[in-house]
């Protein structure tokens, strides 16, 4: 795998990344604040 | 009235103390014992190590905050544990020694009803001969002091490179065959590389990664199969993609055994011994327990009831082969089985085993990462321990309702890949669960795809910066701090 020019543009474009920032913040909240618990009954 | 003593004021200790104070009435006492006068937001150390932040930006003094909030603070180190009391004091207690101020050197017995051991790891530089931050051109970013020193060393080397025709060698990674915290080294190498590019001196440096991981992207978590865009890829591929893109070379399966001035000696899994030269190295040391001792009322040594290197908790420590490991081996409540009023969240608890597959070199040297338990899991486990103690005190319950096994907990790792408001980037990775559950998720390397994903980009840098300010706000216990999750 390598980072193509187009992928680099997507990774570093501030407007696109602003929306990714919101998306990532929400997604991380869902994963992390989504709860935790035991594994034994 | 109950007295809760918290040992340590890092992410776990401070989180536990803050929640205890908020939820317990003032009739109950919360005491923090820590040799450090400051709280430090450890994840930002890497930015201190490249001169983009000063240590003052990532720390604040604990005593004034604790005074305002009604938490007693003793700047002292714990020496011995007396969970049954001793001939000097009937009640369970720890002996501590003050490390600063008028009482420096004075010993004191601190009694408790509940004890939270959040002393974290000892940075065991001594386990690798020659590895000593600031010596032999080797540095660390494990504390803000070390990171400041690393930046001084790196800055000098950059100045030297500007006037030299010789290529300078930078080596970053792990400094012990069983070191953990590869994530911090991963962040640091990407930040150093970006800094050199920004300063237009990248061509004057060889930047190399050295690690005890079997393959790139293991991170002490046995690697991850993660969702990356529309594909599912192993974390090794993602890290390899980044290293190739940045022209960073790598050495894996390497157990660093000794450091000399500008040289690192290491052994690889095939039993071969090698030497790598460097002008600047940042190597993460092994983490170990603090070597605490515990005694019963008759002064007999009962250390093995409390410690197994780190503190013994409700994990299954039965030795078993890697193939038989399960998530059920991992603790849920972080309570010591011999003394129900002692808990050890964060890095202070003894893990049942590693997460990465254990491997030995042909000469018998164990070369694999120890399990990482830093950051987010430290905060989560500390909060659940505090909540259980609060329930016991307020409701008189004996059953612990708050549970959080690393086998049933998600975590996010926002790894900085370079600093800059519009030129920076970050690698955002989440994983669920932290410890792979191969029975539940047999087809995706023990983890739930979708909840285990990776992304690279500028948003990751903003996110890491946002978390820096948000978590310092939370740690300073400013209005509504508790709304911010661990």
- What is the ipTM, given to two decimal places? 0.96
Euclidean distance between CA atoms B140 and B146, whole angstroms: 5
The predicted pLDDT at position B34 comes to: 98
The predicted pLDDT at position B373 comes to: 74
Nearest by CB to A39, which of B330, B453, B466?
A: B330
Closest CA to B255 of B131, B139, B170, B344: B131
pLDDT above 80 for B298:
yes
3-class state of residue B6 by DSSP: strand
pLDDT above 90 for B203:
yes
A9 touches chain B (CB under 8 A): no
Q: Of A24-33, B236-245, B337-346, B381-390, where does mean pLDDT reach its minimum?
A: A24-33
| The two structure tokens encoding residue A24 | 């990532």
The predicted pLDDT at position B398 comes to: 85
Euclidean distance between CA atoms B264 and B185, whole angstroms: 16
Average pLDDT value for residue range B128-139: 96
Query: In angstroms, what separates the C-alpha of B404 from chain A's closest C-alpha?
Result: 4
A4 touches chain B (CB under 8 A): no
Top residue of A3, A11, A13, A32 to mutate, by most chain B CBs within 10 Å, is A32
Euclidean distance between CA atoms B355 and B440, whole angstroms: 16
Q: How many CB pairs under 8 A join A and B?
A: 100
Whether residue A20 and residue B455 make contact (CB cut-off 8 A), yes or no, is yes
SS3 of chain A: helix, strand, coil, percent, to 5: 65, 0, 35
Q: Tens of pLDDT along B276-293?
A: 999 999 999 999 999 999
Mean pLDDT of chain B, nearest integer:
96
Residue B442's alpha-carbon distances to B409, B436, B438, in angstroms, are 17, 9, 5
Q: Which residues of B touch A29 (CB under 8 A)?
A: 485
Q: Which residue of A has its CA nearest to B229?
A: A7
Query: In angstroms, what separates the C-alpha of A6 from chain B's closest C-alpha?
Result: 13
Euclidean distance between CA atoms B22 and B441, whole angstroms: 38
The predicted pLDDT at position B450 comes to: 86
**Residue A31: pLDDT band with limits 50, 70, 90:** confident
Q: Which residues of B touch A23 (CB under 8 A)?
A: 459
Whether residue A17 and residue B459 make contact (CB cut-off 8 A), yes or no, is yes
Query: In angstroms, what separates the C-alpha of A13 from chain B's closest C-alpha?
Result: 8
pLDDT above 80 for B125:
yes
Q: Which residue of B has its CA nearest to A27?
A: B451
The predicted pLDDT at position A33 comes to: 75
Please give the angle made by the CA atoms of B437, B242 and B189, to the nearest 5 degrees. Answer: 95
Residue B3's DSSP bridge partners are B29
Q: Which residue of B has its CA nearest to A33?
A: B485
Q: Tens of pLDDT along B173-201?
A: 999 999 999 999 999 999 999 999 999 99
Distance separating the N- and C-terminal Cα atoms of chain B: 28
Average pLDDT value for residue range B310-316: 98
Closest CA to B460 of B15, B39, B43: B43
Residue B407's alpha-carbon distances to B138, B346, B355, B413, B470, in angstroms, are 35, 15, 11, 16, 27
A15 touches chain B (CB under 8 A): no
The predicted pLDDT at position B397 comes to: 87
**Residue B258: pLDDT band with limits 50, 70, 90:** very high
Chain B, window 182-221: residues with a beta carbon less than 8 angstroms from a chain A beta carbon: none
Closest CA to B209 of B224, B219, B201, B199: B219
Q: B206: exposed, middle or buried (C-beta count within 10 Å: 0-12, 13-18, 19+)?
A: middle
The predicted pLDDT at position B299 comes to: 95
B410 touches chain A (CB under 8 A): yes
Euclidean distance between CA atoms B196 and B51, whole angstroms: 12
pLDDT above 90 for A32:
no
The predicted pLDDT at position A29 comes to: 87
Query: In angstroms, what separates the C-alpha of B123 from chain A's closest C-alpha?
Result: 28
Q: A26: exposed, middle or buried (C-beta count within 10 Å: 0-12, 13-18, 19+)?
A: exposed
Top residue of A3, A14, A40, A41 to mutate, by most chain B CBs within 10 Å, is A40
Closest CA to B238 of B431, B434, B440: B431
The predicted pLDDT at position A34 comes to: 75
The predicted pLDDT at position B266 comes to: 98
pLDDT above 80 for B251:
yes
Average pLDDT value for residue range B453-475: 97
Share of chain B above pLDDT 70, in %: 100
Q: Tens of pLDDT along B78-108?
A: 999 999 999 999 999 999 999 999 999 999 9
* Contacts for B119 with CB less than 8 Å, ≥ 6 apart: B7, B8, B13, B78, B290, B292, B348
Euclidean distance between CA atoms B30 and B72, whole angstroms: 6
Residue B477's alpha-carbon distances to B13, B19, B102, B119, in angstroms, are 14, 10, 28, 21
Chain B, window 106-145: residues with a beta carbon less than 8 angstroms from a chain A beta carbon: none
Closest CA to B407 of B434, B375, B373: B434
The predicted pLDDT at position A30 comes to: 86
Whether residue B407 and residue A39 make contact (CB cut-off 8 A), yes or no, is yes
Q: Tens of pLDDT along B393-437?
A: 999 888 999 999 999 999 999 999 999 999 999 999 999 999 999
């Amino acid at each position: 795998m390598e980072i193509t020019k187009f992928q680099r543009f997507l990774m570093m474009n501030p407007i696109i990344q602003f929306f990714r920032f919101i998306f990532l913040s929400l997604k991380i909240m869902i994963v992390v604040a989504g709860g935790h618990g035991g594994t034994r009954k | 009235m109950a007295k809760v003593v918290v040992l340590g004021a890092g992410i776990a200790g401070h989180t536990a103390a803050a929640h205890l104070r908020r939820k317990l009435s003032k009739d109950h006492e919360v005491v923090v014992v820590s040799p450090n006068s400051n709280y430090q937001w450890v994840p930002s150390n890497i930015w201190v190590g490249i001169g983009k932040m000063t240590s003052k930006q990532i720390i604040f003094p604990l005593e004034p905050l604790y005074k305002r909030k009604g938490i007693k603070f003793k700047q002292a180190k714990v020496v011995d544990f007396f969970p049954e009391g001793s001939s000097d004091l009937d009640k369970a207690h720890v002996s501590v020694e003050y490390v600063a101020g008028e009482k420096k050197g004075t010993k004191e017995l601190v009694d408790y009803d509940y004890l939270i051991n959040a002393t974290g790891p000892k940075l065991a530089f001594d386990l690798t001969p020659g590895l000593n931050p600031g010596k032999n051109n080797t540095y660390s970013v494990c504390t803000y002091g070390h990171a400041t020193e690393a930046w001084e060393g790196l800055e000098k080397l950059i100045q030297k490179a500007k006037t030299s025709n010789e290529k300078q060698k930078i080596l970053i990674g792990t400094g012990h065959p069983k070191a953990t915290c590869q994530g911090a080294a991963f962040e640091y190498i990407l930040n150093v590389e970006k800094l050199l590019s920004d300063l237009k001196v990248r061509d004057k440096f060889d930047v190399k990664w050295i690690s005890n991981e079997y393959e790139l992207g293991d991170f002490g978590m046995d690697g991850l199969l993660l969702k990356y865009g529309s594909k599912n890829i192993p974390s090794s591929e993602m890290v390899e993609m980044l290293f190739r893109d940045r022209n960073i070379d790598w050495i894996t399966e390497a157990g660093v055994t000794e450091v000399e001035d500008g040289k690192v000696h290491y052994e690889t899994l095939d039993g071969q011994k090698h030497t790598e030269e460097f002008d600047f190295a940042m190597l993460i040391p092994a983490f170990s327990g603090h070597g605490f001792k515990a005694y019963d009322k008759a002064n007999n040594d009962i250390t093995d009831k409390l410690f197994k290197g780190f503190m013994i908790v409700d994990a299954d420590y039965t030795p078993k082969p890697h193939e038989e490991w399960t998530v059920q081996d991992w603790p849920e409540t972080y309570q010591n089985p011999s003394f129900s009023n002692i808990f050890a969240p964060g890095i202070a608890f003894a893990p049942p085993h590693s997460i990465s597959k254990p491997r030995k070199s042909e000469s018998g040297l164990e070369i694999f990462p120890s399990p990482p338990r830093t950051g987010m899991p430290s905060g989560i486990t500390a909060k659940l321990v505090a909540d259980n103690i609060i329930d016991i005190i307020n409701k008189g319950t004996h059953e612990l309702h708050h549970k959080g096994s690393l086998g049933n907990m998600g975590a996010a790792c926002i790894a900085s890949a370079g600093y800059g408001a519009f030129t920076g980037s970050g690698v955002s990775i989440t994983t669920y669960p932290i410890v792979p559950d191969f029975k539940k998720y047999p087809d995706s390397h023990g983890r739930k795809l979708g909840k285990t994903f990776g992304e690279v980009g500028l948003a990751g840098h903003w996110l890491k910066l946002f978390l820096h300010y948000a978590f310092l706000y939370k740690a300073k216990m400013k209005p509504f701090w508790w709304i911010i999750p661990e």
